[in-house]
Structure 1
Amino acid sequence: MKNRSIKNIFSELKKLSKSNHSSKKLSFKFESELLDYHPYLKNFSSQHYKLFEELAHQLNLQDSINDLFDGEIVNKTENRQALHHRYRNNQTVLEFDFKKITWPFIKRIKKDGFKNIITFGIGGSYEGPKLLQEYTNKQSSKLNYYFVSGPDRDEFNTILKPLRDQKNFYIFSSKSLSTDETLLCLRWLGAKRNSNNSIVITANTKKAKTLGFNENCIVPFPETVGGRYSIWSPISLSAALENNFSKFLKGGLSADRMLQGGAKIDLQYQKFIKILAFSDLWFSNFLNKNNRVVLSYNWKLRSLQSYIQQLEMESLGKKANPKSIFKETGQSIFGGFGSTAQHSYFQLLHQGTAQFCTDIIYSTSINSPLSRAQAIGQAALLSSDFKESVCLLEKTNSNSPVNLFHLNKLSLEALGFLLATWEHRVFITASMLQINPFDQYGVAAGKLIAKKFLS
């Protein structure tokens, strides 16, 4: 590894950005039992990767990864560890033992014969559980699941009124219990909530008691678990009612071990994650591609984009570090269910003037052969010239860098592996940017201004 200055590495990257290397692509693929990855990254070659790897060495990336998993204080602004990953490791202490913490509540819900599970929450208390429920939904399910985010009374009434004469169980999810939308729903529910039909999942157990929740109705989790990382925590209790949640945690742990391991497959995984992070930085900071569209081509993954949007934009949506060579931080994330998206904003992707990158996620399934064909076809079309055009009007831009992810099965373990992998991508990107991916003061500012206008 050359010991060049960060400034010299940046200068070389700048030179590359001004030269025409559009024909150069990175020759790489990652294949594992759970997930395969194929990059279609025009203008990102092994030369680019080596320069970023050199930069990562200068920025002590490996030390940052070690600090995260060793439980060092990585959330500097709030002087906290970031320990969400400990739920994935079943060798950890009771505080992070998902099964032992949630089982008494799960047993109670099952025993009392509830029909509907209604979760009140927003942000990480909504996106994660909702994604898991849609992903694991079974026609044979004995329970119905509903999610209310608030603060619009119409949403509350639309979901709750048809269920008022049924046996409902209410889950209130909020790390801080200062979330106005969730507290509003708690107030609206009023006397319908009691100690037999409700629980609260929170890191603020003291506040839970002041709101009228008994000790045996409080499901705790630590302050060191951020909201957008809380999918691994008791926040996802509803997903464990009819599923083996340990498989989801096992998938996440597999990704963690690969990130820290030394075997051949581990080193391939580490390169895979770095390619994702390095290319994100390259395209946004040097080629002005500040937007990324995230497309899932399986119905069970239809909310994946919303989950990723929060994970990335809350984690990487920070001011640039004045000491960093990078002036662009996180990309703007949009997207959705691919098949639907093709009939709305894909026209802009194919023939518009906006600059963007693309992530496509799909799984081979007997239920969706057309979706698979669409995913692979769009990856080819977005990243390279479409040779089958019959006239100039059908000529497409074909200049988008594409990351193609293939889940080898639609299992909880595969989803856990994918989401932990995405977290690793975000953390490495943040480390390269020298920003904190674990705070969100912009979100707090929005809450304060709303209270001002409400008063």
Structure 2
Amino acid sequence: MTTLTQSAPWQTLSSLAESVKSAHMRDWFADDAQRAERLQASACGIFLDYSKNRVTDDVLTALFDLADAQGVDAQKAAMFNGEIINTTEGRAVLHTALRNFSGNPVMVDGKDVMPEVLATLDKIQAFTHSIHSGEHKGYTGKAIKHIVAIGIGGSFLGPKIMTEALKPYRTDAVKVHFVANVDGCHIHDVLSERDHEDTLIVMSSKSFSTQETLQNTLTAKAWFLKQGGTQEDIAKHFVAVSSNVKAATEFGIAEENIFPMWDWVGGRYSLWSAIGLPISLALGFDNFKGLLEGAYAMDEHFKTAPKEQNLPVLLAVLGVWYRNFFDAQSQVLLPYYHYLRGLPAYVQQLDMESNGKLVTQAGEAIDYETGPIIWGSEGTNGQHSFHQLIHQGHGVIPVDFLMPLNVPNQDDTHHAMLASNCFGQAQALMQGKTFEDCYADLNGKGLDDAEQTRLAQHKTMPGNKPSNTILFEKLDPFTLGALVAMYEHKVFVQGVIWQLNSFDQWGVELGKVLGNQVLAGIQGDADSADFDSSTQQLINRFKQANAPK
């Protein structure tokens, strides 16, 4: 057993779980008229109702004790102070410095990183203005009207989902198109509809060598040259976000159009950096800065709020409660807002890449469950498909319901229907419907008792399904920044409790290495002995199918 499972708070929670599992939330609400008022918190324009969770005051106390025992406060301070908490890569973890508006220095290895961070923000602002104003022109003198943003993972997902979520705030000056998939169909479809004379390519890769991103950028370069551009013209139509200045300049990108990255920013946390350049180009710099300001506000809340009112801490300990004491395999996010439909995919990468780990920070094998499977989609669509499993399936699937109280171009009927579905689903999951109620509903239907009993059994829903309801006035840049930072810090707290390094991703790295090896095998530059028989068979079939006819 690890020290975590042997700890006093863990043992207390194990004992409490046995008694809580035999209780129903219906009864708690009936017995406590103040439950909803007591189990709520708010910060940064975000309201959290966590009363529909299978927790008592004793459970919450034990969960906070567990967070204390695992050193959450100390690790939080270490992260914000720039200490090396990514121990396997020897790096600080300072995505929070990218949105630090306190005026205070942030030190890494004895150096204040804030001057360079702020200089990069100024550079993003100036470049965004030059594009939107038409000052930056293509090689034929045309203003830039289309941006093709090429990246993968965090270099793609964050900017794409943020610009989708903030669609009402997009500028009319340019249109941004995102490409990540190395499947040539995607880049072909995007480029085939563009005029190379008014198109700018933004390539985002820290190393300037990420396989998918580099290949898509090379394809874009070949397209640009084929359309009539020259190697010299590339400087006006290609920019890079990368730490590899040499490779970028050799590609043809002007050095002044290379935006820096730092090794203390992980890919899934990088939207706050120059990786967010496409966000600024799509929304305008002021809205990009608003996103950063919202995240900074959540950082300050996370640093200073007591655990009982701390949104990231509350969400984190509730997640630990279900993952480790109710065997919840997954967590579902249900945004009741069309523009926020990409959030589950964003949190999926953030959470599963961070906490899908086998060993503790100390290298000990883990004997408890860690990161859950994160999934979800638009709430109202899911009600007509997978909500069935949440309502009547075996097991516990905790739910986060998310909804803005006001939306752009609001139609009161539509929005009222949206809200009624969101709140109604949360209520139905908690209350369920008893066999007795289902049986009574069938009275007078002309059924005999056996048939009435049989149908009532199918209609019965146990309820007692936990959920959080997360509301905000509207989804503006500030609120979205706060919302994303809230989930970042939630994942961090869970990683600390589970004794993980939440900031490396060796599984992802292995996939990259093997992908390159297989590519070499397909192209004939690798020995067949490098591959297992199954992989070699697949390579052979692919080569045969693509051999010259």
TM-score (norm 2): 0.77
The alpha carbon displacement at 1:140 in A equals 6.4
Q: Distance in 1 between matches of 2:389 and 2:467?
A: 16
1-structure distance, mates of 2:403, 2:88: 37
Give yes or no for contact 2:302–2:310 (8 Å, CA) kept in 1.
no
- Partner SS state of residue 228, structure 1: helix
The equivalent residue for 2:293 is 250
Q: CA deviation at 1:277?
A: 1.0
Residues 138-147 or 386-395, more deviating: 386-395
* Residue equivalent to 2:452: none
Q: Does the 8 Å contact 1:116/1:143 carry over to 2?
A: yes
Q: Contact 1:283–1:289 (CA<8 Å) still a contact in 2?
A: yes
Aligned to 1:295: 334
Match of 1:158 in 2: 189
Letter in 2 for 1:231: L
Which residue among 422, 428, 431 is the counterpart of 1:381? 428
- Shift, 1:280, TM fit: 0.8
Structure 1 residue 175, shift from structure 2 partner: 2.3
1:280 aligns with 2:319: yes
Q: C-alpha distance in 1, partners of 2:509/2:269?
A: 17
In the alignment, the residues of structure 2 paired with residue 260 and residue 326 of structure 1 have an alpha-carbon distance, to the nearest angstrom, of 30
Q: Larger deviation: 419-428 or 317-326? A: 317-326
Q: Aligned with 1:224: secondary structure?
A: coil
Structure 1 pair 320–312 and aligned structure 2 pair: CA distance change class (3 A): same
SS at match of 2:294: helix
Q: Which residue of 2 aligns with 1:452?
A: 517
Q: Distance in 2 between matches of 1:348 and 1:260?
A: 37
Aligned counterpart, 2:65: 54
Question: SS at 2:469's partner residue?
Answer: strand
**In structure 2, distance between residues paired with 1:328 and 1:413:** 34
- Aligned residues with identical type, % of pairs: 29
Aligned AA (2:154) = G
Tell me the alpha carbon deviations over residues 189-241 of structure 1, each in whole angstroms, 9 at most, x when there is no partner: 12417110110112333432343322122111211111000111111112213
For residues 117-146 of structure 1, what are the alpha-carbon distances to aligned partners after superposition, in whole Å with 9 as ceiling and x for unaligned?
111111111111111211222476232221
Does residue 177 in structure 1 map to residue 208 in structure 2? yes
CA distance in 2 between partners of 1:221 and 1:451 (Å)? 24
Equivalent residue number for residue 351 of structure 1:
392
2-structure distance, mates of 1:57, 1:323: 21
| 1:412 corresponding residue in structure 2 | 477
CA RMSD of superposed structures (Å): 2.4
Q: 1:283 to 1:326 in 2, by over 3 A?
A: farther
One-letter code aligned to 2:350: L
SS at match of 2:86: coil
2:179 is matched with 148
Q: In structure 1, what is the Cα distance between the partners aligned to 2:425 and 2:355?
A: 27
* Deviation sequence 1:393-417 (CA, Å, 0-9, x none): 4433423211111122121101111
Deviation, structure 1 residue 149 = 0.7
Matched ranges for 1:117-266 at <5 A = 117-138=147-168, 141-164=172-195, 167-191=198-222, 192=224, 194-241=234-281, 242-243=283-284, 244=286, 245-261=288-304, 266=305
Q: Quick check: 1:435 aligned with 2:457?
A: no
Partner of 1:96: 117
* Equivalent in the alignment of 2:16: 16
Counterpart-to-counterpart distance in 2, 1:395 and 1:164: 59
Measure the CA separation in 2 of the matches of 1:222 and 1:248.
Answer: 20
Count of residues in correspondence between the two structures: 448
Deviation at 1:21, TM superposition (A): 4.6
Code of the aligned partner of 1:120: I
Q: Which residue of 1 aligns with 2:368?
A: 327
- Give the Cα separation in 2 of the matches to 1:79 and 1:230: 18
- Give the conservation status (yes or no) of the 8 Å contact 1:94–1:100: no
1:150 to 1:142, Cα distance in 2 relative to 1, 3 A: same
Q: Which has the larger radius of gyration?
A: 2
SS at match of 1:74: strand
Code of the aligned partner of 2:124: T
The alpha-carbon distance between structure 1 residues 18 and 400, as it changes in their structure 2 partners (threshold 3 A), is same
Letter in 1 for 2:128: I
Aligned counterparts of 1:157 and 1:89: Cα–Cα separation in 2: 39
**Per-residue CA distance 1:177-200 (angstroms, 9 max, x = gap):** 232111110121124171101101
Distance change in 2, residues 1:221/1:47 (3 Å): same
Range with greater deviation from structure 2 (246-255 or 54-63): 54-63
Which amino acid in structure 2 is aligned with residue 147 of structure 1? F
Given that residues 164 and 339 in structure 2 are in contact (C-alpha distance below 8 angstroms), is that contact kept between their aligned partners in structure 1? Answer: yes
Question: 1:127-179 deviations in whole A, cap 9, x for unaligned?
Answer: 11111211222476232221111210111112211114661111111223232
Residue 163 of structure 1 aligns to a residue whose secondary structure is coil
Q: Distance in 1 between matches of 2:175 and 2:402?
A: 27
Residues 1:103 and 1:43: Cα distance change in structure 2 (over 3 Å):
closer
CA contact (8 A) 1:30 1:268 kept: no
1:16-65 superposed Cα distances (whole Å, 9 cap, x missing partner) = 22224533667410134511000144422221121122222222211101
* Aligned residue in 1 for 2:419: 372
- TM-superposed CA distance for 1:452, in Å, is 2.3
The code of the aligned residue for 1:219 comes to F
Deviations, residues 353-402 of structure 1 (Å, cap 9, x unaligned): 35311111111123433222221111112222247864534433423211
Which runs of no fewer than 5 residues in structure 2 stay unpaired? 29-34, 106-113, 138-142, 226-233, 443-455, 522-549
2:268 aligned counterpart, secondary structure: helix
Structure 1: runs of 5 or more not aligned = none
Contact 2:93/2:266 (8 A) holds in 1: yes
- 1:43-82 equivalences under 5 Å are 43-82=54-93
